[in-house]
Structure 1
Amino acid sequence: MTGAHGGIRRRTVHSHGLPLAVYEQGDPAHPTVVLVHGYPDTHAVWDDVAADLAADHHVVRYDVRGAGASGVPAGRHEYRLELLGADLLAVADAVSPDHPVHVVAHDWGSVQSWEAVTTPGARQRIASYTTMSGPCLDHMGHWIRHRLRRPTPRHLRQLLVQGLHSWYITAFHLPVLAPATWRLWLARAWPRVLRDLEAVRPRPGHPQATLKQDAVRGIELYRANMRPTIRRPRERHTDVPVQLITLRRDHYVSDFLSDGLERWAPKLTRRSLDATHWSALLEKGATVAGMVRDFTTRIAAGHEHAPPDSGELVVVTGGGSGIGRATALAFAEQGARVVVCDRDLESAERTAELCMLTGSAAHAYRVDVSDGAAVDAFAATVAAEHGVPDVVVNNAGIGHSGTFLQTTEKEWQRVLDVNLWGVIHGCRAFGTLMVERGTGGHIVNLASAAAYLPSKVLAAYATSKAAVYMLSDCLRAELAPHRIGVSTICPGIIDTNITRTSTFSGLTADEQAAKQAKVSKLYARRGFPPEKVAAQIVRAVRTGKPVVPVTIESKAARLLGRLSPALLRRAAQLNAG
């Protein structure tokens, strides 16, 4: 034992005859947070998070059975989920007998904590649950069954992607190869895995020999639970408030595994963090601690559904309607804080209100993106009042139709000011902040299929979008060393109100109105909603995809431009507009 409240104190808690090594720090009079580690870690993986939380929490960590200084199960049957869940409740009862504890778990720590959280009556012992990179195996079993019963292309793709991410689970079931691999190679290579794959600085959690022994024994976690539970999933509900932190660069757990989680955990708060599976704890411990602190504070105050004031921050320009509004809502539904701006403040405020209905914090500002000084001031305000954004979506844009000779200089200036300079201003103002912060981020620029689909009646519009496309390519190369991704989104015909505000060269006011109505009706008949574009934007941010053609016509045009540019140019000559 060291220190009074500032040091780490060790005790032993027995659960089903097995000794568990428990480590405490912070004042026991403060709210208790129990941190549960995964595989092949020990309690040490939580060092940074625990040190931060100990300032105002009673922080408890323990080595799970078979790991670190805790007892070793006699066989595979003692690694079953019900015993792992019972261990957590035993530790909670020992360290905080009079008050429910807040549980925070990662990887296999999350898997086993779900067992305790979904146990009937868990709310009496668990005040809240923050989970990272570890689904409930029962929920996962139902998730797989649902996709096999309804094998849509999206469901099949999800099953394939997660199957590829989970290759190691199959390997762990091999009777001789899996333990031999750990003993002969992987234990020694583990620091390199963390450095090269996880982008973290390896640090000593425990001696190499202990890591090897724990890892070999821990394979039984998978063998005792994965196939039996997923084959026969149980109905596991909970009324415990749950905070799901999705790690956007997780190499093992896909974000879509949490689709439909509200069915099992209705008091769900979604958050996300730009981190890999282990960098969340080893590199961004203070950020994770901030998310936990915010959640426990809101739970203690009885504000289970209040919007969080920390976590991922997303800025969307032109967020008052259409793709911008749908994108803001899509990120809000994932627990992000959202800042929207638009020339129409009332519409931006309406978007913010809709975002807040999802339980996320949202704010609205009036900004004309064509005004560089205004965008700089907006970026400074966002940084001062909300922090540096993690994601910026430069969406604001206007439509214009007209041949080159028809389009006046004033019309050219208006289109380029918004569609190109608006993106330039947003990239420069927020990109500078992201680089100075030094923790990465992502910029999304809305281009169009018109960026690579020539049309004699879209001279100014297509030129502005082609410029955005190339700007994004250049910016992607420049910002890559700073871990800032850049995605170019290229929608085709989308049913938004841009058609109702588009302008047309050489037409009278009455002719403009008639043309707007005609084009709007055409786009509405196409029936491709902005929500589908928003989903692709979110996915691009999560996966780092550089260029995303969204609609079928956009994909076809990009492919044709690669295969036969001459045919694409010929089609442009025939386009009557």
Structure 2
Amino acid sequence: MGNLDGRVCLVTGAGGGIGRSISLKLASQGANLVLTDINEEQLNDTVQQCCELGVSASGYRIDLTDSTALEYVVEQTKSQFQKIDVLANVAGIMETRSFLEIKADEWNRMFAINVTTTFQLIQLVAKEMIEQGNGGSIINLSSTAGRLHRPMAAHYAASKAAVISLTRSAAVALAPSNIRVNALCPGIIDTPMIQQVRESRSELLDISQDDIQKHWERIIPMGRLASPDEVADLAAFLASDAARYITGEAIGINGGTDAS
């Protein structure tokens, strides 16, 4: 079927946007899937679409800030498939807030969801991969924001910078066990989350959503937003043996934004 035949992949944030696209891409390559999301309806839709591609897929509605829930979904993955080959930490949040208006609880929530859950799942899954003895691939969703200034979302940018640092540390720590750890750093991706950002910035800055869209397109050298599928293509590559010597990298998918 594809490059991931028989692999078992655990994907968080699979209910929509980038998470759904990654799940479907992995399924199209033959991977069996365990998927999580906070939105049960959207999660079930992704599970159904993956099953229609001829693989086994199951979904768990969980709150990723609940450590017990994280342990449970890892245990269920092992129970169902007896192994975990790939972890894709995709779940996350973003919000627009001027720098001086960010509250401590907003900062803490951003880091709890975007960083702490990523760290905890890396630990849990890496322990299973080490016990299995066959290595594995861990893919973390960071952002171009983690490498650039974001004065309208400093807490988000800081959390994504932390994901890059965490990725590099985990990659070195786990390399002797042949576990690869890499980060995806998308730019502006055409997802429901970005639509919410467009709406909130329009209100905050008192400019039209159309003007925000045009500004985004101007600052991207390739002149357009990326699709979630373009992020998913890179995730599938990193999950496969074709990327067997790639670890500790934070790879941009941003149409040249970093270079400009």
TM superposition score normalised by structure 2: 0.86
Indicate the SS of the match to 1:420.
helix
Shift, 1:371, TM fit: 2.0
- The whole-number CA distance in structure 2 between the counterparts of 1:388 and 1:489 is 24
Larger Rg over CA atoms? 1
Shift, 1:538, TM fit: 1.2
Is contact 2:188–2:194 with CA below 8 Å preserved after alignment? no
Match of 2:209 among 497, 518, 521: 518
Indicate the SS of the match to 2:60.
strand
- The whole-number CA distance in structure 1 between the counterparts of 2:49 and 2:210 is 28
- The whole-number CA distance in structure 1 between the counterparts of 2:147 and 2:171 is 18
- Match of residue 373 from structure 1: 68
Shift, 1:316, TM fit: 0.8
- The whole-number CA distance in structure 1 between the counterparts of 2:148 and 2:134 is 36
Shift, 1:271, TM fit: 5.8
Indicate the SS of the match to 2:259.
helix
- The whole-number CA distance in structure 2 between the counterparts of 1:349 and 1:464 is 28
- Match of residue 167 from structure 1: none
- Match of residue 547 from structure 1: 250
Q: Does 1:450 align with 2:141?
A: no
> Relative contact order (C-alpha < 8 Å, sep 6+): which is higher?
2
- Match of residue 4 from structure 2: 272
Decide whether aligned partners of structure 1 residues 499 and 342 sit closer, same or farther in structure 2, where only a CA change above 3 A counts.
same
- Match of residue 344 from structure 1: 39
Where does 1:66-77 land on structure 2 (aligned, <5 Å)? none
Q: Does 1:470 align with 2:165?
A: yes
* 1:416-462 Cα deviation digits (max 9, x unpaired): 11111121122122122111222110100000001111122221001
- Match of residue 415 from structure 1: 110
- The whole-number CA distance in structure 1 between the counterparts of 2:20 and 2:53 is 13
- Match of residue 233 from structure 1: none
Question: Which letter does structure 1 place at the counterpart of 2:127?
Answer: T
Decide whether aligned partners of structure 1 residues 362 and 521 sit closer, same or farther in structure 2, where only a CA change above 3 A counts.
farther
- Match of residue 207 from structure 1: none
Shift, 1:495, TM fit: 0.3
Where does 1:13-32 land on structure 2 (aligned, <5 Å)? none
Q: Does 1:384 align with 2:116?
A: no
* 1:12-42 Cα deviation digits (max 9, x unpaired): xxxxxxxxxxxxxxxxxxxxxxxxxxxxxxx
* 1:292-324 Cα deviation digits (max 9, x unpaired): xxxxxxxxxxxxxxxxxxx21011100000111
Where does 1:105-504 land on structure 2 (aligned, <5 Å)? 269-270=1-2, 272=4, 311-502=6-197
- The whole-number CA distance in structure 2 between the counterparts of 1:385 and 1:519 is 47
Is contact 1:448–1:489 with CA below 8 Å preserved after alignment? yes
Identity of aligned pairs, percent? Answer: 31
* 1:196-215 Cα deviation digits (max 9, x unpaired): xxxxxxxxxxxxxxxxxxxx
Shift, 1:522, TM fit: 2.1
Structure 1, unaligned runs of 5 or more: 1-268, 274-310, 558-577
* 1:358-417 Cα deviation digits (max 9, x unpaired): 111111110222222211111111111222210000000111222332101121122111
Indicate the SS of the match to 1:416.
helix
- The whole-number CA distance in structure 2 between the counterparts of 1:320 and 1:473 is 27
Decide whether aligned partners of structure 1 residues 482 and 554 sit closer, same or farther in structure 2, where only a CA change above 3 A counts.
farther
Decide whether aligned partners of structure 1 residues 332 and 411 sit closer, same or farther in structure 2, where only a CA change above 3 A counts.
same
TM superposition score normalised by structure 1: 0.40
Decide whether aligned partners of structure 1 residues 452 and 553 sit closer, same or farther in structure 2, where only a CA change above 3 A counts.
same
Shift, 1:520, TM fit: 11
Question: Which letter does structure 2 place at the counterpart of 1:379?
Answer: V
Shift, 1:541, TM fit: 2.6
- Match of residue 535 from structure 1: 233
> Number of matched residues?
247
- The whole-number CA distance in structure 2 between the counterparts of 1:352 and 1:520 is 36
Structure 2, unaligned runs of 5 or more: 218-223
- Match of residue 556 from structure 1: 259
Is contact 1:342–1:365 with CA below 8 Å preserved after alignment? yes
Indicate the SS of the match to 2:2.
strand
- The whole-number CA distance in structure 2 between the counterparts of 1:457 and 1:271 is 40
**Aligned-CA RMSD value:** 2.6
- Match of residue 221 from structure 2: none
- The whole-number CA distance in structure 1 between the counterparts of 2:253 and 2:2 is 26
Is contact 1:314–1:338 with CA below 8 Å preserved after alignment? yes
Is contact 1:400–1:504 with CA below 8 Å preserved after alignment? no
- The whole-number CA distance in structure 1 between the counterparts of 2:124 and 2:199 is 31
Is contact 1:407–1:460 with CA below 8 Å preserved after alignment? yes
- The whole-number CA distance in structure 2 between the counterparts of 1:547 and 1:391 is 17
Decide whether aligned partners of structure 1 residues 322 and 478 sit closer, same or farther in structure 2, where only a CA change above 3 A counts.
same
* 1:539-576 Cα deviation digits (max 9, x unpaired): 1233143331112244426xxxxxxxxxxxxxxxxxxx
Question: Which letter does structure 2 place at the counterpart of 1:270?
Answer: G
* 1:147-180 Cα deviation digits (max 9, x unpaired): xxxxxxxxxxxxxxxxxxxxxxxxxxxxxxxxxx
